[in-house]
A and B are shown apart, each in its own frame.
Chain A
């Protein structure tokens, strides 16, 4: 027996390829949507991996530092360092902002990292070019996704920084590339007021009789100094000793230091379960709608193609073709159309994914899933056409 569906597709391949391409672009969009979701999850994981931390110590009662703002004193890390099982602890600040370079603006997450050698939590572990920050001021390590190059001068708030190193795939949970700067600079940037505001605040403090005491001349200076420094950081990143259990190290810190401590698993739950939960539901909705639209299109195309063959189907029935064979022919055509569409969609998605501003992660497992769904949709969608074909009366072939 020959494949009737295959012959029909070969005979009118132009029609099939064109409709397959249209369908393929739609499938490509669907695969990309799934890739955007995977990219978001991956960004979150990468963020946690790159921090080099096993525990995140944040302000009590917050989901910081990524999902909520958190503020703790910058000497907390010393107390944490003294706790059992802690191998390393370092302050870190996160601030998402626009960074100026030349005449362009780049949205980035500025990460303030503590001084210290390799292995200090928060420091980028690997650079693709240049070196780590060695001075305590005005040096920056930027992710290549910012578009900055070594030696570039970038402006964060009022200060200029020199890019001394480059990283790859260091991104925030919303996909913004990271720029690492020394902790002190970052603390200042978070707190920094403009010149007018500083002058104004000094004037007010000076005019306050509670601070400007004639008998205590140093008091005013001390107050002004404390007003213009920022002793807070967003979190302390902790690396635990080899062999220690994260939860066992975290528990005493929670109890004795009155701080919130998250383990890696909890942090992942916060990022994926809370921070990107709405976005992923949004994408889920899109996927459902796209699946329905694809099904409707396939059903419509196959139905139209079948209506165009009513006469042939009547003849096939008259000369003894079984319903099974006719249904199989239509279903195979639908699946064939789906295969063309899937191939086009996969290629299209692979081509356009890198052009997307955010990370699009096309997982092979998603492609396999997508493929199965396309085939199932095709089979379901062909049922409308099959019903129409089975209703064709073989007497029509004989005519009046």
Chain B
């Protein structure tokens, strides 16, 4: 599978509602993220960041434009994929501002649940979960329940969950907001390492001044339109 581009968005539009109350949240969004690349998406409140993630995550339907994940066109004026749920499961990893782990599953099963949902045997799924936990330095908490973890550990577990199905795309919405700068940078480090290791295209939506300088490329979204900028690419 030649994945020339991890994510490509062309002329994406999203209008909420209709008539007098219609809101054009996305007017003209163009973005491209290569496999193994981590880009920042920043913009003022109400500029359409969450709307963009929801469109990419196939939980709301855009009004127009084109989206490509890997080598697959998922949207081109209409959904091009029948089973959006399976697509989310197999192609997209989600990281949220809060970790949103499933409270009644232990750390391993929180991660292993995704491969299990995709039909993998339990043992295989848990093995993959453990590998990731080791890579993220939380293997020693594998049997703990989410409520027994620190905020930073929870966030790392949720990163592991986003990566466990080796999705070509990861969407992170304010993943570092509750963390101090040390931990925030650690998360960025992990995301970059994972992007490289699994050739994942990662979009990080953020307001966080601590991490913005680390991106090499940044998309600025203002009033539903994107502009590409070079970032500082500061080492972390």
Interface string of B110-128 (1 = CB under 8 A from A): 0001101110001000000
Stretch from A183-191, A271-279, A313-321, A372-380 forming part of the interface with B: A313-321
Q: Do the beta carbons of B102 and A316 come within 8 Å of each other?
A: yes
B102 nearest CB neighbor, chain A only: A312
- Min Cβ gap B41→A in Å is 13
A397 interface residue per 8 A CB criterion: yes
Q: What size tier do the contact residues of chain A reach? A: 20 to 34
Flag whether B236 is at the interface (Cβ < 8 A). Answer: no
Contact A395 B89 (CB under 8 A): no
Q: In the complex, what's the smallest C-beta–C-beta distance from A11 to chain B, in angstroms?
A: 4
B215 at the A interface (CB under 8 A): no
Distance of A317 Cα from B100 Cα, bound (Å): 12
**A397 to B109, Cβ gap below 8 A?**
no
| Interface contact B100-A311, CB-CB below 8 Å | yes
How large, as a class, is the contact surface on chain B? 20 to 34
Partner of B116, one of A1, A312, A317, A318: A1
* Chain A residues near B94 (CB-CB < 8 A): 318-319, 397-398
Report yes or no: A319 in contact with B57, Cβ–Cβ below 8 A.
no
Contact A318 B109 (CB under 8 A): no
Contact present for A398 and B116 (CB under 8 Å) = no
Residues of the A chain whose Cβ atoms lie less than 8 Å from the Cβ of B85: 317, 320-322
Interface membership of A217, Cβ < 8 A: no
Contact status of A393 and B103, CB under 8 A, knowing A1-B116, A2-B116: no
Bits for A359-400, please: 1 = Cβ < 8 Å to B, else 0.
Answer: 000000000000000000000000000000000011101111
Closest beta carbon of chain A to B39's beta carbon, Å: 18
Report the bound CA distance from A398 to B90 in whole Å.
18
Complex Cα–Cα for A397 and B59 (A): 10
> What residues of B have a CB within 8 angstroms of the CB of A10 in the complex?
104
Contact B89 A399 (CB under 8 A): no
Contact residues, B54-104 vs A (CB, 8 A): 54, 57, 59-60, 85-86, 88-90, 94, 96-97, 100, 102-104
A interface, by DSSP: helix, strand, loop or mixed?
helix
Q: Which residues of A contact B54 (CB under 8 A)?
A: 395, 398
- The smallest C-beta distance from B221 to any residue of chain A, in angstroms, reads 15
| Residue from B57, B60, B103, B117 within 8 A of A312 (CB atoms) | B103
- How far does the alpha carbon of A317 sit from the alpha carbon of B114 in the complex, in Å? 11
Interface residue B161 (Cβ < 8 Å from any Cβ of A): yes
Known: A320-B85, A322-B85. A11 touches B96 (CB 8 A): no
Task: Considering the complex, give the chain B residue whose CB is closest to the CB of A322.
Answer: B85
15 contacts between A and B (CB under 8 A): A2-B109, A2-B113, A2-B122, A4-B105, A7-B104, A7-B105, A312-B102, A316-B102, A318-B57, A319-B117, A320-B114, A325-B117, A394-B88, A399-B50, A399-B97
Chain A residues within CB distance 8 Å of chain B: 1-2, 4, 7-8, 10-12, 311-312, 315-322, 325, 393-395, 397-400
